[in-house]
């Protein structure tokens, strides 16, 4: 009988914690907006990894020690698909920036555990937004721990370069070029409009090309008629140059 080798539980790192990515459309929309805009912002940098709702395991062999930030950004880490973020496989780089979007189901005790986790395992910047109360909190790492950012109005993230503005109605995020973050549907609509414009321009170019082709053919026909006329005049003993 061949003995089966069992894999130790601590060497298994599930890709899912069984929890939904978001509890409602508002939370999902905010997660999507932040994720997509940060992904676009760092699209040209192959060593900035942006992920949403990805399980992060900071310590090898501790598969119950994990957290899934709504959005996280890791600098110095190559882009690419992953089932989970196993830190020891990523040059032991902890995500430097994390975002959490509150839903009505998030309890203070749960959020305190997350803050403790991010503080303990090396996060440099942590931002927490409650879209229902329009309340923004943030922490930034000092030498040893995450300190509360006293004033986030107009705050610029040292790592991301993005700026936070809290209006009476909502949170506004701005890229380093001062352009506001946009939702996925708006970007898709703009892309559709650009594609439509390109299509119309292509049609106009095709029409112009056809007109140029017709003009070229007419010119060739006129030149051919002129050559035939010159030949007839020469055959009649007349000098075409004198005729002119």
C-alpha–C-alpha distance, residues 144 and 176, integer Å? 28
Are residues 126 and 113 located together in one domain of the fold? yes
Are residues 61 and 103 located together in one domain of the fold? yes
Mean of the per-residue pLDDT values for the chain?
Answer: 85
Are residues 137 and 26 located together in one domain of the fold? yes
CB burial class (10 A; 0-12, 13-18, 19+) of residue 49? buried
C-alpha–C-alpha distance, residues 5 and 119, integer Å? 38
> What confidence category does residue 239 fall into, taking pLDDT thresholds of 50, 70 and 90?
low
Q: Which of 25-34, 84-93, 183-192 has the lowest mean pLDDT?
A: 183-192
Are residues 78 and 39 located together in one domain of the fold? yes
Distance of CA 238 to the CA centre of its chain: 77
CATH code, domain with 169: 3.90.1570.10
Are residues 150 and 191 located together in one domain of the fold? no
Rank 6-10, 18-22, 107-111, 193-197 by mean pLDDT and report only the highest: 107-111
- Residue 203, pLDDT above cutoff 90: no
pLDDT at 240: 64
> What confidence category does residue 219 fall into, taking pLDDT thresholds of 50, 70 and 90?
confident
**pLDDT top residue among 218 and 75:** 75
Structure tokens at 52: 């949403």
In this structure, is residue 2 part of a structural domain? no
Q: What is the pTM of this model?
A: 0.72
Structure tokens at 216: 């070229």
- Residue 171, pLDDT above cutoff 90: yes
The mean pLDDT of 51-74, rounded to a whole number, is: 96
C-alpha–C-alpha distance, residues 179 and 208, integer Å? 37
Domain with 214 in it: 187-243
The mean pLDDT of 145-149, rounded to a whole number, is: 95
pLDDT at 89: 96
pLDDT at 195: 59
Q: Which of 26-40, 117-131, 184-198 has the lowest mean pLDDT?
A: 184-198
Are residues 220 and 166 located together in one domain of the fold? no
Contact predicate 137/148, CB 8 Å: yes
> What confidence category does residue 3 fall into, taking pLDDT thresholds of 50, 70 and 90?
very low
The kind and range of the H/E element at 71 are: strand 71-75
Distances from the Cα of 52 to the Cαs of 28, 36, 113, 158, 177, in angstroms?
10, 9, 19, 20, 24
C-alpha–C-alpha distance, residues 191 and 199, integer Å? 12
Which of 182, 197, 232 is the C-terminal boundary of a domain?
Answer: 182
C-alpha–C-alpha distance, residues 190 and 181, integer Å? 14
Number of domains in the chain: 2
- Residue 186, pLDDT above cutoff 70: no
Torsion angle of C-alpha atoms 100, 106, 108, 112, degrees rounded to 10: -40
C-alpha–C-alpha distance, residues 160 and 166, integer Å? 18
Q: Which of 75-84, 129-138, 193-202 has the lowest mean pLDDT?
A: 193-202
Q: Which of 147-156, 202-211, 233-242 has the lowest mean pLDDT?
A: 233-242
């Amino acid at each position: 009988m061949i003995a089966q080798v069992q894999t130790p539980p601590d060497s298994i790192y599930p890709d899912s914690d069984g929890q939904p990515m978001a509890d409602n459309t508002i939370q999902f929309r905010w997660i999507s907006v932040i994720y997509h805009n940060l992904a676009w912002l760092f699209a040209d940098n192959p060593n900035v990894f942006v992920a949403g709702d990805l399980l992060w395991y900071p310590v090898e062999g501790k598969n119950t020690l994990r957290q899934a930030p709504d959005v996280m950004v890791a600098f110095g880490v190559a882009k690419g698909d992953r089932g989970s973020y196993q830190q020891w496989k990523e040059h032991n780089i902890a995500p430097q920036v994390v975002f959490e979007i509150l839903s009505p189901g998030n309890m203070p005790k749960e959020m305190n555990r997350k803050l403790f986790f991010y503080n303990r395992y090396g996060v440099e910047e942590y931002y927490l937004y409650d879209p229902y109360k329009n309340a923004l909190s943030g922490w930034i790492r000092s030498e040893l721990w995450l300190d509360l950012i006293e004033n986030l109005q107009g705050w610029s993230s040292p790592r991301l370069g993005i700026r936070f503005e809290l209006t009476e109605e909502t949170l506004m995020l701005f890229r380093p070029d001062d352009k506001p973050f946009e939702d996925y549907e708006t970007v898709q609509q703009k892309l559709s409009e650009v594609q439509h414009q390109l299509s119309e321009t292509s049609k106009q170019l095709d029409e112009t090309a056809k007109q140029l082709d017709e003009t070229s053919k007419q010119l060739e026909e006129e030149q051919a008629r002129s050559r035939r006329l010159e030949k007839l005049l020469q055959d009649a003993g007349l000098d075409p140059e004198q005729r002119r």
